[in-house]
Structure 1
Protein backbone atom coordinates (compact mmCIF):
# COMPACT_ATOMS: atom_id res chain seq x y z
CA UNK A 1 0.00 0.00 0.00
CA UNK A 2 1.26 3.46 -0.92
CA UNK A 3 0.62 6.29 1.52
CA UNK A 4 0.23 9.70 -0.06
CA UNK A 5 0.09 13.00 1.80
CA UNK A 6 -1.81 15.90 0.25
CA UNK A 7 -1.05 19.35 1.58
CA UNK A 8 -1.03 22.99 0.60
CA UNK A 9 -1.64 26.39 2.10
CA UNK A 10 -5.13 27.76 2.72
CA UNK A 11 -7.10 28.49 -0.45
CA UNK A 12 -4.91 26.43 -2.76
CA UNK A 13 -7.66 23.97 -3.76
CA UNK A 14 -6.70 21.01 -1.60
CA UNK A 15 -10.28 19.88 -0.93
CA UNK A 16 -11.09 19.94 -4.65
CA UNK A 17 -8.01 17.86 -5.47
CA UNK A 18 -8.76 15.40 -2.64
CA UNK A 19 -12.19 14.81 -4.19
CA UNK A 20 -10.50 14.03 -7.51
CA UNK A 21 -8.39 11.31 -5.86
CA UNK A 22 -11.49 9.95 -4.09
CA UNK A 23 -13.36 9.82 -7.41
CA UNK A 24 -10.54 7.63 -8.71
CA UNK A 25 -11.03 5.10 -5.93
CA UNK A 26 -8.34 6.29 -3.51
CA UNK A 27 -9.66 6.39 0.11
CA UNK A 28 -9.10 9.87 1.58
CA UNK A 29 -8.47 10.73 5.22
CA UNK A 30 -9.43 14.39 5.73
CA UNK A 31 -7.68 15.74 8.83
CA UNK A 32 -9.80 18.93 8.89
CA UNK A 33 -13.07 16.98 8.63
CA UNK A 34 -11.86 14.71 11.44
CA UNK A 35 -11.14 17.74 13.64
CA UNK A 36 -14.58 19.17 12.85
CA UNK A 37 -16.21 15.87 13.88
CA UNK A 38 -14.17 15.70 17.10
CA UNK A 39 -15.13 19.29 17.94
CA UNK A 40 -18.68 19.22 16.53
CA UNK A 41 -21.96 18.38 18.30
CA UNK A 42 -21.28 15.48 20.66
CA UNK A 43 -17.61 15.31 19.62
CA UNK A 44 -15.36 13.67 22.17
CA UNK A 45 -12.99 16.67 22.40
CA UNK A 46 -15.73 19.21 23.20
CA UNK A 47 -15.66 18.78 27.02
CA UNK A 48 -11.83 18.66 27.07
CA UNK A 49 -11.58 21.90 25.08
CA UNK A 50 -14.22 23.61 27.24
CA UNK A 51 -12.28 22.65 30.36
CA UNK A 52 -9.01 24.08 29.02
CA UNK A 53 -10.57 27.05 27.17
CA UNK A 54 -13.70 28.03 29.15
CA UNK A 55 -16.44 29.68 27.11
CA UNK A 56 -15.30 28.31 23.74
CA UNK A 57 -18.14 25.80 23.33
CA UNK A 58 -21.84 26.25 22.80
CA UNK A 59 -24.73 23.77 22.58
CA UNK A 60 -22.42 20.76 22.84
CA UNK A 61 -19.97 21.85 20.14
CA UNK A 62 -16.84 23.99 19.89
CA UNK A 63 -17.52 27.58 18.85
CA UNK A 64 -14.78 27.84 16.23
CA UNK A 65 -14.74 31.66 16.25
CA UNK A 66 -14.42 31.79 20.04
CA UNK A 67 -11.70 29.14 20.03
CA UNK A 68 -9.79 30.93 17.27
CA UNK A 69 -9.95 34.16 19.28
CA UNK A 70 -8.61 32.28 22.31
CA UNK A 71 -5.51 30.95 20.53
CA UNK A 72 -4.66 33.20 17.55
CA UNK A 73 -1.44 35.10 18.18
CA UNK A 74 -0.91 33.24 21.48
CA UNK A 75 1.71 30.50 20.89
CA UNK A 76 1.35 28.98 24.38
CA UNK A 77 -2.44 28.66 24.05
CA UNK A 78 -2.15 27.29 20.52
CA UNK A 79 0.33 24.67 21.71
CA UNK A 80 -2.11 23.66 24.45
CA UNK A 81 -4.89 23.22 21.89
CA UNK A 82 -2.64 21.20 19.58
CA UNK A 83 -1.71 18.92 22.49
CA UNK A 84 -5.42 18.09 22.79
CA UNK A 85 -6.25 17.78 19.10
CA UNK A 86 -3.21 16.10 17.50
CA UNK A 87 -3.28 12.82 19.50
CA UNK A 88 -7.01 12.45 18.82
CA UNK A 89 -6.51 12.97 15.08
CA UNK A 90 -3.64 10.46 15.10
CA UNK A 91 -5.93 7.88 16.71
CA UNK A 92 -8.59 8.43 14.01
CA UNK A 93 -5.94 8.19 11.28
CA UNK A 94 -4.74 4.83 12.62
CA UNK A 95 -8.33 3.57 12.60
CA UNK A 96 -8.74 4.73 8.98
CA UNK A 97 -5.59 2.82 7.92
CA UNK A 98 -6.87 -0.38 9.54
CA UNK A 99 -10.31 0.02 7.91
CA UNK A 100 -8.77 0.42 4.43
CA UNK A 101 -6.00 -2.14 4.80
CA UNK A 102 -6.75 -3.74 1.40
CA UNK A 103 -6.54 -0.51 -0.64
CA UNK A 104 -3.56 -0.08 -3.03
CA UNK A 105 -3.09 3.51 -1.84
CA UNK A 106 -4.41 5.90 0.79
CA UNK A 107 -4.44 9.70 0.57
CA UNK A 108 -4.09 11.80 3.72
CA UNK A 109 -5.35 15.38 3.36
CA UNK A 110 -3.24 17.19 5.99
CA UNK A 111 -3.17 21.02 5.89
CA UNK A 112 -0.25 21.44 8.35
CA UNK A 113 1.88 18.52 7.17
CA UNK A 114 5.25 20.30 6.98
CA UNK A 115 4.46 22.51 9.97
CA UNK A 116 4.06 19.44 12.20
CA UNK A 117 7.00 17.51 10.69
CA UNK A 118 4.69 14.75 9.52
CA UNK A 119 5.90 14.28 5.95
CA UNK A 120 8.52 11.60 6.75
CA UNK A 121 5.96 8.84 7.33
CA UNK A 122 4.48 9.03 3.80
CA UNK A 123 5.72 7.48 0.56
CA UNK A 124 4.96 10.59 -1.50
CA UNK A 125 3.99 14.17 -0.68
CA UNK A 126 1.69 16.05 -3.06
CA UNK A 127 1.43 19.84 -2.75
CA UNK A 128 -1.39 21.88 -4.29
CA UNK A 129 -0.36 25.35 -5.27
CA UNK A 130 -1.60 28.50 -7.00
CA UNK A 131 -0.24 32.04 -7.34
CA UNK A 132 -0.53 34.17 -4.17
CA UNK A 133 -3.04 36.59 -5.71
CA UNK A 134 -5.40 33.74 -6.64
CA UNK A 135 -5.00 32.23 -3.17
CA UNK A 136 -5.83 35.55 -1.49
CA UNK A 137 -8.85 36.12 -3.72
CA UNK A 138 -10.24 32.64 -2.95
CA UNK A 139 -9.74 32.90 0.80
CA UNK A 140 -11.10 36.43 1.22
CA UNK A 141 -14.29 35.31 -0.57
CA UNK A 142 -15.02 32.90 2.31
CA UNK A 143 -17.71 33.95 4.82
CA UNK A 144 -16.25 35.57 7.93
CA UNK A 145 -12.72 35.79 6.52
CA UNK A 146 -10.76 39.02 6.89
CA UNK A 147 -7.33 40.09 5.65
CA UNK A 148 -6.12 40.09 9.28
CA UNK A 149 -7.32 36.52 9.87
CA UNK A 150 -5.71 35.39 6.63
CA UNK A 151 -2.39 37.00 7.61
CA UNK A 152 -2.49 35.18 10.99
CA UNK A 153 -3.15 31.86 9.23
CA UNK A 154 -0.41 32.38 6.63
CA UNK A 155 2.07 33.32 9.37
CA UNK A 156 1.61 29.81 10.85
CA UNK A 157 1.97 28.02 7.52
CA UNK A 158 5.16 27.03 5.74
CA UNK A 159 5.56 29.35 2.71
CA UNK A 160 4.14 27.97 -0.53
CA UNK A 161 7.52 28.12 -2.31
CA UNK A 162 9.09 25.96 0.41
CA UNK A 163 6.23 23.45 0.25
CA UNK A 164 6.66 23.13 -3.53
CA UNK A 165 10.41 22.63 -3.11
CA UNK A 166 9.88 19.84 -0.55
CA UNK A 167 7.11 18.05 -2.48
CA UNK A 168 7.42 14.89 -4.57
CA UNK A 169 4.61 16.18 -6.79
CA UNK A 170 3.07 19.65 -7.28
CA UNK A 171 -0.46 20.17 -8.60
CA UNK A 172 -1.15 23.62 -10.06
CA UNK A 173 -4.75 24.58 -9.26
CA UNK A 174 -4.74 27.93 -11.06
CA UNK A 175 -5.79 26.20 -14.27
CA UNK A 176 -9.01 24.51 -15.38
CA UNK A 177 -10.53 21.61 -13.43
CA UNK A 178 -9.93 19.32 -16.41
CA UNK A 179 -6.23 20.25 -16.46
CA UNK A 180 -6.02 19.73 -12.69
CA UNK A 181 -7.62 16.29 -13.08
CA UNK A 182 -5.04 15.45 -15.76
CA UNK A 183 -2.29 16.20 -13.23
CA UNK A 184 -3.96 13.86 -10.71
CA UNK A 185 -4.16 11.11 -13.35
CA UNK A 186 -0.49 11.63 -14.26
CA UNK A 187 0.57 11.26 -10.62
CA UNK A 188 -1.47 8.07 -10.19
CA UNK A 189 -0.08 6.64 -13.42
CA UNK A 190 3.47 7.50 -12.33
CA UNK A 191 2.89 5.65 -9.06
CA UNK A 192 1.59 2.60 -10.90
CA UNK A 193 -1.99 3.18 -9.75
CA UNK A 194 -4.85 2.95 -12.24
CA UNK A 195 -7.41 5.74 -12.51
CA UNK A 196 -9.91 3.48 -10.74
CA UNK A 197 -7.99 1.84 -7.92
Structure 2
Protein backbone atom coordinates (compact mmCIF):
# COMPACT_ATOMS: atom_id res chain seq x y z
CA UNK A 1 0.00 0.00 0.00
CA UNK A 2 0.95 3.62 -0.42
CA UNK A 3 2.77 4.93 2.65
CA UNK A 4 3.21 8.52 1.51
CA UNK A 5 2.04 11.05 4.06
CA UNK A 6 -0.81 12.30 1.91
CA UNK A 7 -2.86 10.98 -0.98
CA UNK A 8 -3.38 13.76 -3.48
CA UNK A 9 -3.11 16.30 -0.65
CA UNK A 10 -5.58 14.34 1.46
CA UNK A 11 -4.76 12.79 4.83
CA UNK A 12 -3.47 9.25 4.97
CA UNK A 13 -6.28 7.23 6.55
CA UNK A 14 -5.04 4.56 8.93
CA UNK A 15 -7.17 1.91 10.59
CA UNK A 16 -6.23 0.89 14.13
CA UNK A 17 -7.68 -2.40 15.30
CA UNK A 18 -7.14 -5.21 17.76
CA UNK A 19 -9.10 -7.83 19.62
CA UNK A 20 -10.69 -7.24 23.00
CA UNK A 21 -8.01 -6.79 25.66
CA UNK A 22 -5.24 -6.12 23.15
CA UNK A 23 -4.63 -2.57 24.38
CA UNK A 24 -5.87 -0.89 21.21
CA UNK A 25 -7.29 2.09 23.09
CA UNK A 26 -4.00 2.60 24.95
CA UNK A 27 -2.18 2.71 21.62
CA UNK A 28 -4.76 5.17 20.30
CA UNK A 29 -4.08 7.50 23.22
CA UNK A 30 -0.36 7.41 22.42
CA UNK A 31 -1.06 8.49 18.84
CA UNK A 32 -3.23 11.32 20.16
CA UNK A 33 -0.37 12.39 22.45
CA UNK A 34 1.86 12.52 19.36
CA UNK A 35 -0.56 14.85 17.59
CA UNK A 36 -2.52 12.38 15.47
CA UNK A 37 -6.33 12.81 15.51
CA UNK A 38 -8.16 9.55 16.28
CA UNK A 39 -11.76 8.74 15.36
CA UNK A 40 -13.13 6.31 17.96
CA UNK A 41 -15.60 4.22 15.99
CA UNK A 42 -16.89 2.22 18.94
CA UNK A 43 -17.59 5.33 21.01
CA UNK A 44 -19.23 7.02 18.02
CA UNK A 45 -21.46 3.96 17.56
CA UNK A 46 -22.56 4.22 21.19
CA UNK A 47 -23.38 7.91 20.80
CA UNK A 48 -25.24 7.35 17.55
CA UNK A 49 -27.47 4.63 18.99
CA UNK A 50 -28.42 7.02 21.80
CA UNK A 51 -28.81 10.29 19.89
CA UNK A 52 -29.67 9.54 16.24
CA UNK A 53 -33.44 9.35 15.89
CA UNK A 54 -33.32 7.48 12.58
CA UNK A 55 -30.99 4.84 14.00
CA UNK A 56 -33.10 4.52 17.14
CA UNK A 57 -36.26 3.96 15.10
CA UNK A 58 -34.56 1.36 12.92
CA UNK A 59 -33.25 -0.52 15.97
CA UNK A 60 -36.66 -0.40 17.68
CA UNK A 61 -38.44 -1.56 14.52
CA UNK A 62 -36.02 -4.47 14.19
CA UNK A 63 -35.62 -5.56 17.80
CA UNK A 64 -38.55 -4.14 19.77
CA UNK A 65 -38.27 -1.80 22.74
CA UNK A 66 -34.61 -1.95 23.73
CA UNK A 67 -34.25 1.60 25.07
CA UNK A 68 -34.35 2.85 28.64
CA UNK A 69 -35.66 6.33 28.02
CA UNK A 70 -33.22 7.89 25.57
CA UNK A 71 -30.42 5.38 26.17
CA UNK A 72 -30.00 2.01 24.46
CA UNK A 73 -30.17 -0.89 26.92
CA UNK A 74 -26.89 -2.42 25.80
CA UNK A 75 -27.18 -5.48 28.01
CA UNK A 76 -30.58 -6.32 26.52
CA UNK A 77 -29.31 -5.58 23.02
CA UNK A 78 -26.30 -7.83 23.59
CA UNK A 79 -28.60 -10.65 24.71
CA UNK A 80 -30.63 -10.31 21.52
CA UNK A 81 -27.61 -10.58 19.23
CA UNK A 82 -25.60 -13.04 21.35
CA UNK A 83 -25.05 -16.25 19.37
CA UNK A 84 -27.41 -14.90 16.71
CA UNK A 85 -25.32 -13.97 13.66
CA UNK A 86 -28.34 -12.78 11.67
CA UNK A 87 -29.44 -10.40 14.43
CA UNK A 88 -25.90 -9.08 14.81
CA UNK A 89 -25.65 -8.57 11.06
CA UNK A 90 -28.97 -6.71 11.13
CA UNK A 91 -27.78 -4.44 13.95
CA UNK A 92 -24.48 -3.74 12.19
CA UNK A 93 -26.34 -2.90 8.98
CA UNK A 94 -28.19 -0.18 10.90
CA UNK A 95 -25.29 1.26 12.89
CA UNK A 96 -22.23 0.95 10.64
CA UNK A 97 -23.48 3.17 7.77
CA UNK A 98 -24.27 5.91 10.29
CA UNK A 99 -20.79 5.60 11.79
CA UNK A 100 -19.29 5.69 8.30
CA UNK A 101 -21.13 8.93 7.55
CA UNK A 102 -19.85 10.43 10.79
CA UNK A 103 -16.31 9.33 9.91
CA UNK A 104 -16.49 10.98 6.49
CA UNK A 105 -17.56 14.25 8.12
CA UNK A 106 -14.78 13.93 10.69
CA UNK A 107 -12.16 13.38 7.97
CA UNK A 108 -13.34 16.52 6.19
CA UNK A 109 -13.02 18.49 9.43
CA UNK A 110 -9.44 17.23 9.92
CA UNK A 111 -8.28 17.38 6.30
CA UNK A 112 -5.22 19.49 7.14
CA UNK A 113 -3.54 16.68 9.12
CA UNK A 114 -1.14 14.36 7.26
CA UNK A 115 -2.29 11.22 9.12
CA UNK A 116 -5.68 10.34 10.60
CA UNK A 117 -6.48 7.21 12.61
CA UNK A 118 -9.74 5.30 12.72
CA UNK A 119 -9.90 3.13 15.83
CA UNK A 120 -12.34 0.22 15.50
CA UNK A 121 -12.51 -3.13 17.28
CA UNK A 122 -14.11 -4.84 14.28
CA UNK A 123 -12.53 -2.76 11.51
CA UNK A 124 -11.91 -5.85 9.39
CA UNK A 125 -14.97 -7.89 10.38
CA UNK A 126 -17.28 -4.99 9.48
CA UNK A 127 -15.63 -4.38 6.12
CA UNK A 128 -14.60 -0.85 7.13
CA UNK A 129 -10.96 -1.69 6.37
CA UNK A 130 -11.61 -1.10 2.68
CA UNK A 131 -12.00 2.61 3.43
CA UNK A 132 -8.53 3.12 4.88
CA UNK A 133 -5.07 3.22 3.30
CA UNK A 134 -3.11 1.41 6.01
CA UNK A 135 -3.95 -0.90 8.90
CA UNK A 136 -2.25 -1.15 12.29
CA UNK A 137 -2.99 -4.26 14.35
CA UNK A 138 -2.45 -4.30 18.11
CA UNK A 139 -2.03 -7.84 19.39
CA UNK A 140 -1.27 -9.58 22.67
CA UNK A 141 -1.13 -13.14 23.94
CA UNK A 142 -4.54 -14.71 24.47
CA UNK A 143 -4.11 -15.28 28.20
CA UNK A 144 -2.84 -11.73 28.67
CA UNK A 145 -5.93 -10.39 26.92
CA UNK A 146 -8.25 -12.58 28.98
CA UNK A 147 -6.72 -11.45 32.26
CA UNK A 148 -6.93 -7.78 31.24
CA UNK A 149 -10.61 -7.98 30.36
CA UNK A 150 -11.52 -10.02 33.43
CA UNK A 151 -9.87 -7.37 35.60
CA UNK A 152 -11.26 -4.39 33.67
CA UNK A 153 -14.84 -5.58 33.09
CA UNK A 154 -15.35 -8.03 35.93
CA UNK A 155 -16.22 -10.77 33.44
CA UNK A 156 -15.62 -14.49 33.81
CA UNK A 157 -13.09 -16.22 31.58
CA UNK A 158 -15.93 -17.88 29.66
CA UNK A 159 -17.52 -14.50 28.99
CA UNK A 160 -14.25 -13.12 27.65
CA UNK A 161 -13.64 -16.17 25.46
CA UNK A 162 -17.18 -15.91 24.10
CA UNK A 163 -16.56 -12.30 23.07
CA UNK A 164 -13.19 -13.23 21.56
CA UNK A 165 -14.79 -16.01 19.53
CA UNK A 166 -16.91 -13.44 17.70
CA UNK A 167 -13.84 -11.55 16.50
CA UNK A 168 -11.20 -12.65 14.02
CA UNK A 169 -8.07 -14.10 15.57
CA UNK A 170 -4.84 -12.10 15.59
CA UNK A 171 -3.37 -14.39 12.94
CA UNK A 172 -6.37 -13.79 10.68
CA UNK A 173 -6.13 -10.03 11.19
CA UNK A 174 -2.39 -10.01 10.50
CA UNK A 175 -3.13 -10.93 6.88
CA UNK A 176 -4.70 -7.47 6.52
CA UNK A 177 -2.21 -5.50 8.63
CA UNK A 178 0.54 -3.24 7.32
CA UNK A 179 1.95 -2.74 10.82
CA UNK A 180 1.75 -4.86 13.97
CA UNK A 181 2.19 -3.59 17.53
CA UNK A 182 2.83 -6.25 20.17
CA UNK A 183 1.44 -5.35 23.57
CA UNK A 184 2.44 -7.98 26.10
CA UNK A 185 5.29 -6.55 28.16
CA UNK A 186 6.97 -4.71 25.28
CA UNK A 187 7.28 -0.89 25.47
CA UNK A 188 4.60 0.66 23.30
CA UNK A 189 5.97 4.15 22.73
CA UNK A 190 8.96 3.12 20.56
CA UNK A 191 6.68 0.95 18.40
CA UNK A 192 4.16 3.77 17.93
CA UNK A 193 6.85 6.34 17.12
CA UNK A 194 8.49 4.03 14.57
CA UNK A 195 5.19 3.43 12.79
CA UNK A 196 4.25 7.10 12.80
CA UNK A 197 7.62 8.00 11.27
CA UNK A 198 6.99 5.50 8.46
CA UNK A 199 3.47 6.79 7.89
CA UNK A 200 4.72 10.36 7.59
CA UNK A 201 7.72 9.54 5.40
CA UNK A 202 7.54 10.12 1.63
CA UNK A 203 7.07 7.06 -0.56
Q: Same fold (TM over 0.5)?
A: yes
After the TM superposition, which residues 1-197 of structure 1 pair with which residues of structure 2 at under 5 Å, given as runs? 1-40=11-50, 42-44=51-53, 45-175=55-185, 179-192=187-200
Instruction: State TM-score, norm by structure 2.
Output: 0.87
Runs of 4+ in 1 over 6 A off after TM superposition: none
The 1-side partners of 2:115 and 2:178 are apart by 16
Secondary structure at the aligned position of 2:184 is classed as coil
Secondary structure at the aligned position of 1:142 is classed as helix
Q: Is the 8 A contact 1:72 1:152 kept in 2?
A: no
TM-superposed deviation, 1:117: 2.8
The 2-side partners of 1:141 and 1:53 are apart by 31
TM-superposed deviation, 1:144: 5.0
> Kindly tell me: are residues 6 and 79 of structure 1, through their superposed partners in 2, closer, same or farther at Cα, counting changes over 3 Å?
same
How many pairs align? 190
TM-superposed deviation, 1:174: 1.2
| Structure 1: runs of 5+ lacking an equivalent | none
Q: Is the 8 A contact 1:73 1:152 kept in 2?
A: no
TM-superposed deviation, 1:124: 1.3
The 2-side partners of 1:165 and 1:29 are apart by 23
> Kindly tell me: are residues 11 and 23 of structure 1, through their superposed partners in 2, closer, same or farther at Cα, counting changes over 3 Å?
same
The 1-side partners of 2:49 and 2:131 are apart by 26
Q: Is the 8 A contact 2:49 2:95 kept in 1?
A: no
